A and B are shown apart, each in its own frame.
Chain A
Amino acid sequence: MTSRRCCWSRALLEGALLAVLLLARAVAAEVPTAEVSSAQMPDAEVPFAIHAPLGLPALPLPADNPPTAAKVELGRKLFFDRRLSFNGTMSCAMCHVPEQGFTSNELRTPVGNEGASARRNAPGLLNVAYHPRLFHDGREGALETQVWGPLLAPDEMANPSLGHVLDRLRALPDYAGLFEAAFAGRGASADTVGAALASFQRTLVAGDSRFDRYRYGGARDALSAEERAGLAIFTGKGRCATCHLIGERDALLSDFAYHNTGIGWLRSQEGAGVEVELAPGVRARVSAAVVRSIGAAPRSDLGRFEITRDPRERWAYKTPMLREVAATAPYMHDGSLPTLEAVVEYYDRGGAGAPGQSPLIAPLQLSVAERAAVVAFLKALSGRPGKPASAHQGEGR
């Protein structure tokens, strides 16, 4: 299996890449830029400027892996390459679908090698460069090393070893010379694969939403009255901004801390069955016994506790950033809430009352109109209509 794309998608891809370069040049004078000096760099390493759009701080870049055009392009190729999975069926982009906010809108949790069940919702990758730690439980600290997790996880891309991936890449003719060109003569290795994929993912930035233009661009009419009311609730009565931070000069919309929202505990409670929509308007109940007869027993998921072994962090998960949140349904670490309305309703009622649930989550007593306003505000965190926040959206494979 190869990742060769059909002609139209290749054209789209080339167009998208051109667009991101042009866009970067167009806004270079207006927004903070994390730029890399080309001094003493090999000719092959042409710096790649990643511009932080309105509302985002300068992009944090690792000193030992400055982005270059060659690395970004190689990382893009790796990201969309199905051959990187053991049986050639999955690329990174199969769970982090560009057209679906770099997550998957069609599944609560991803399906991996030979149908294996992943435990957690595929995190959206937009603005992933800002995350100080990665995965829902924060078990990785750098994109460069994080990428090997899914490549080797038996329930994801299922490669039997790191060396197996590298051997395969070294044997593929269309990769001949690409690593060497991007990394000053160094071939495919654990480091260079990680560096290339990380470089590409750092280009997935999303900002300049209507909220940003209202808050940081001086466009007072950028938000509607309802959206402004939603922002006020978000930062006030709703206490959302306690964890989804909004600063004076920019907004990451996350504290990158770990919180027990109650969702993890709630999912650990066995249900009495499930009501299934078989077709629009046709519903039936499936008993717990039937569910057990046709499915594997669910695996436990204790969140951050699995990394720290600190009982206080049972069922705690990292606060997600919220840009483009309207495009990244379903929500929460397990994808259990299908809509923004459901998320707001969950927090409004004070969560699940779970053991150890964060004290920050308590009944809010929001009215129907207030809940609707918060949802309207969340939808204003998306990029300009008709202009994807990330120029990589819309790429085909």
Chain B
Amino acid sequence: MKTPRIRLTAMAVLLSSMLAAPQLAADETCNSPYLSSLIKGQEDYVHVWTLGVKGVGDESDKLVTVDVNPQSPDYGKVVHVLSVGGRGEAHHGGFSDDRRYLWAGRLDDNKIFVFDIGSNPAAPTLVQTIADFADKTGFVGPHTFYALPGRMLVQGLSNTQDHGGRTGIAVYNNKGEFVAKYDMPTGEHDGVAADGYGYDIGINPQKNALLTSSFTGWNNYMMDFGKLVQDAEAMKRFGSTMVMWDLKAMKPQKVMSVPGSPLEIRWSLKAGDNWALTATALTSQLVLVKQDAAGEWQAKAVAAVGDPAQIPLPVDISITADAKGLWVNTFMDGKTRYFDISNPEAPVQTYEKVIGKQVNMVSQSWDGKRVYFTSSLLANWDKRGADDEQFLKLYHWDGKALTEQFALDFHALGLGRAHHMKFSAKPAPGTARDPGRGVAIAQR
């Protein structure tokens, strides 16, 4: 599909303006640096994008809102549930640049739901359903939602052609209208075979750097996990590259060989830093992507996660705001592991704890004192029987140990599989909700 010239021009102007973005900042610590606000104090709510499960509650995917402010009488309770109807492999979400809206995707039926979080964080509403992702792009599996000024980047995982791993990045505007698409690179790039696969997006504005990672296509991420590991053909279809893009031009600059399916990308949040970390799911390595002395981006494995021979399956990772620590969850053994990354060239694991029979996502508060965990990886990859625990858990971190504060059993509550988490906060008393809400939150 040709992208209209006028749209490309508009994108170029937009992308150019992004380079003037302020300090790199993230989640809270893993959000887009283009969010207008971060919650640097106590978050009030955690919104959990939850997969519906047959036989559990209404069996539908839903956004579950949990009150997490210890001063609230509803602390540790589900305060709102918003079902969106049916099951489509709910997975990840991301805030719009003004942090008012949460975009959340489904990897199976490709629907993207836009929730209004800003009007009333305690009771989000569904304001738009975008159903043209596959039609407009030929991509399948809207995975990562990454805000740009006035835009949303959406990283696909697969395609409508063969449900394999070749895919690309779509750009929507904040009205939910498709703007442009960019295929992931394929072919030979300076001796590295680009696989065309995608997974996560991470931007370092100061470096004009957009970094992408690579997972696998619909055929694999929808497949029964036990069946998958026994299918040698399917196991060959995992990403083995990371791509550094020229953000301003939206063109691939360098394809780096990173075998074993590199997943979440976490840039160092310190101003001036020029490195990011990722973890490879299959080969259990932490991989550092950093500029060398000549300014060339290089990727190299810097630490093993657990015993790679046991396939602990590193999944989500979360970097601390000071870029000195990294939480790494390993799905198979249900552990979270804390790495000291003061020297990102040589991370050292200093702590580990079993969170449950299985664990996937991890999100921490800006000060790193509160760490949240959820359990679900993918509907057909989660464990079976009694090991299929589904939860949201909050722990306090004192720098030495995690202490559980509450745990919500998503099965017992009739909710489903708990996946991606995003934080929100009530507007500060006496502040206007619109348009200055973001600023008010940021100052809390």
Contact = CB atoms under 8 A, between A and B. Distances in A.
B87 A111 contact: no
A107 to B, nearest CB: 5
B324 interface: no
Nearest to B378: A115
A277 interface: yes
Nearest to A329: B233
How big is the B interface, by class?
Answer: 35 or more
B163 A94 contact: yes
Interface stretch (A3-11, A198-206, A353-361, A373-381): A3-11
B61 to A, nearest CB: 12
B380 A115 contact: yes
B37 interface: no
Contacts of B88: 87
Contacts of A114: 87, 89, 108, 222, 379-380
A4 B135 contact: yes
B161 interface: yes
A277 B217 CA distance: 17
Nearest to B223: A111
A115 to B, nearest CB: 4
B282 interface: yes
Interface stretch (A39-47, A187-195, A228-236, A287-295): A287-295
B109 A87 contact: yes
Tell me the interface secondary structure of chain B in the complex.
Answer: loop
Given A6-B138, A279-B240, A294-B384, A396 B161 contact: yes
A238 interface: no
A335 B234 CA distance: 11
A280 B110 CA distance: 31
A274 B230 contact: yes
A85 to B, nearest CB: 10
Contact of B226 (A82, A97, A294): A294
A216 B280 CA distance: 53
B227 A117 contact: yes
B292 interface: no
18 contacts: A7-B2, A87-B88, A89-B140, A99-B162, A105-B233, A106-B233, A108-B234, A111-B222, A114-B108, A117-B223, A277-B236, A278-B283, A279-B280, A284-B308, A284-B311, A293-B387, A296-B227, A397-B160
Given A7-B1, A114-B87, A278-B282, 5 more contacts: A94-B162, A107-B223, A114-B222, A282-B259, A330-B233
Interface of A: 1-2, 4-9, 82, 87-89, 94, 97, 99-100, 104-109, 111, 114-115, 117, 274, 276-280, 282, 284, 286, 290-296, 298, 329-330, 335, 338, 396-397
